[in-house]
Amino acid sequence: MSTSLIEKALQFATEKHKNHTRKNKEKSPYIVHPIEVCHILSDVGGVEDVEILAAALLHDTLEDTPTNREELIENFGERICSLVEEVSDDKTLSKQKRKDLQIQHALELSKGATLIKLA
């Protein structure tokens, strides 16, 4: 498994989320969440596809940071950007509407996006 893409995604996500914290009691650094998602996929789920693992690390960059589609494509390519887009919510919608759309679109997700969502 090539780790350079995963390392690049980790560095990118860490930088993008550097001022974000989790909504937990400890206010832990937000980057812990994408790392946990990647860990679940890799170590628990046996996922070896480095693009899926990289997308797992990046999965909240579009919806929670100023990152845009072009920046993801430039740095990580079309497939990874597409996976991130599939699992991203439109933050201009209400939380309930976002949840409704997640349920509505769940069966339309690619295998990679489904794995990321489930993790």
Sign of dihedral through CA atoms 37, 5, 74, 18?
positive
Catalytic residue among 49, 51, 63, 71: 63
7, 48, 49, 64: the catalytic one is 64
How many residues make up the chain in this entry? 119
* 51 part of the active site: no
- In 3D space, the residue among 117, 84, 119, 115 whose CA is nearest the CA of residue 103 turns out to be 117
74 carries an active-site annotation: no
Q: Among all residues, which ones are annotated catalytic?
A: 63-64
